[in-house]
Structure 1
Amino acid sequence: MTTNGSQQNGPVGDVPEDANEHCPGTQSERAGKAEACAGCPNQQICATAPKGPDPDLVDIAERMQTVKHKILVLSGKGGVGKSTFASQLAFALAGKDKQVGLLDIDICGPSIPKMLGLEGQEIHQSNLGWSPVYVEDNLGVMSIGFMLPDPDEAVIWRGPRKNGLIKQFLKDVYWGELDYLIVDAPPGTSDEHISIAQYLKATSVDGAIVVTTPQDVSIIDVRKEINFCQKVGIPVLGVVENMSGLLQPLSSLKFKSITINGDEEDVTAAVLQEIQRSSNLLQSVYTYSEVFYASSGGAEKMAKDMKVPFLGRVPLDPGLSRAAEEGRSCFSDGSCKLSASYLNSIIGKIQCTVEASADSSSKV
């Protein structure tokens, strides 16, 4: 049963996350006026908003003309290290002398300023638009985190206001000439994802990288994320399995003696001394623990089942965690060389795929 003719072919335009059932869509001629709109919190806005194609899409497409490649970093579930991957991807590409922009559209949980070492910075405006905050001359960052007077302040916004800020980021930020724009999205498939997909599709987005951890509780949600990309027409560049086991040099471990009563004694020095006395070979050995149980085969099997590329695994590395906390690149020193080698392999595949695709398109 339908409340108006537009329901036969589905809603026209966006459907706000707090809309009533059978919403005709924000761009429908019946928006705000249909029976289904009665009592909806968006009714007045929809009834008075202009209908038809969004004129801002033209401005977004024009602004994005100076950006060669646009990559979304997505995850179906929070806490899988998506923002850590996005920030290190930006650091790695900038380290290869690429001009890079990192756009944080996680409106309610912006962590990118901290992960890039930019906490406390502010956005400035010029006659060309909002200016990104720069880590280096070739790495600029934009986030709502730069707009909050207090970093502990909660952002409590409905969907339309979030969408408006995302649109403003794309339309009004002056990036200049970029080789790569990395977009760090919040987890899930909510309003922000629908908006960024709609706004970027008109500008030839290269695709999405989907980040997950190995266990089923994450894989289940990531399947939905991949389905979302397929439905909205965004290519999936590949899946990254993050936190894929805890890998550490034996010499960096801490050892404790624990009694049946729960008393602890640090015996690290004695154990390492005994290891060194027993064998010098053990000094170069890494220990591996499977922290998350991949009961269904992990990300690689899921990627194979869903016919999308599997880009590789990144182990849990305390050095990488510290680099993210301190807002620095894990490629700049030897403190997290283990995870850096895994990340470099994955990022190399991404770069090859994106740039090869661009070369093929230019020859057509």
Structure 2
Amino acid sequence: MSGFALTRYLRRLLRRRPFVAISVLVLSGLQPSEAPPQLAPPVSSASSGIDEPITPMPPAPALDPRKVKLGERLFGDTRLSRDNARSCTSCHDIRTNGASTKRRDVDLNGAELPLNTLTVFNATHNFRFSWEGKYRNVNADVTASLINPRIMGSDLDTIAQKLNRDPAMRGGFFAAYGRGADAENVVDAIVNFEKTLVTPGSRFDRWLAGEAKALSPEELEGYRQFKSLGCVSCHQGVNIGGNLFQRHGIFHPLASPDPAILRVPSLRNVAATPPYFHDGSAPTLDDAVRKMGQAQLNTTLTDPQVKAIVAFLHSLTGQYRGSQVGGEP
């Protein structure tokens, strides 16, 4: 979503949710307009995507298939870890939701990690990486996971040496890069694969494209509530989040107090990625929506509001390789 479109849309929220809307404008580097604010428009039965705060997920980019195939092999290769016991798929299961079902995954020594695992699906559309937004690009994020002593615990040169001892893997690197495995192309191959881990084709994307019957009346009402309450102030754009930082627990405590400021997570495929929040403390979407209403909007949502918003969130589940993410119906 462009800065101009976001500014125009958030102007409409200023009257109902001035704190949330203005805080997002500041965090985004935008300034509130002096023009009279307007309320969010009603949701119609179909949308062309024009003037909506959420934009459709595009298909995967066209990349060198040799690099993508090699990256996929590496993503599931346990030789990337220090003890040859875990791979990227150990925490990011692309057969299901791109993450795991655990509240928090464990490190190489079996101790629980401090934060819930974020899904790898659509991750390359985020503007920063990790819950705290420590990494500015996917290359840095991949590298950090490989060398983190608690996650993979290895180093790039050691990984390359292991892979070059395998004639088939070495051949794969020569086919894709014209040379054997090294610190640079190991990371690059994984990055190429991760760029293909996008999940277009959600029912909400189809509605944005003008398919009127893609959403039920309840889902449409949930989207209307999502916009009018102010949820969309932080969750918008192509990834329905992932493009700004925000403080959690603005009005009431939400989850573990640290870290206090987080990169807003994407809501794509959110129905398939429980548990929720950075500490994994919300077991269901219903619970997460109610807590977000209190903590971030200072609003006690009614049961019908929660039901409608949860229904809308289910419409955000996309497809990967022809199947719904997480086995969503």
- Interval of TM-score (by shorter of Structure 1 and Structure 2): under 0.3
TM-score normalised to structure 2 length: 0.25
Structure having the higher Rg: 1
TM-score normalised to structure 1 length: 0.23
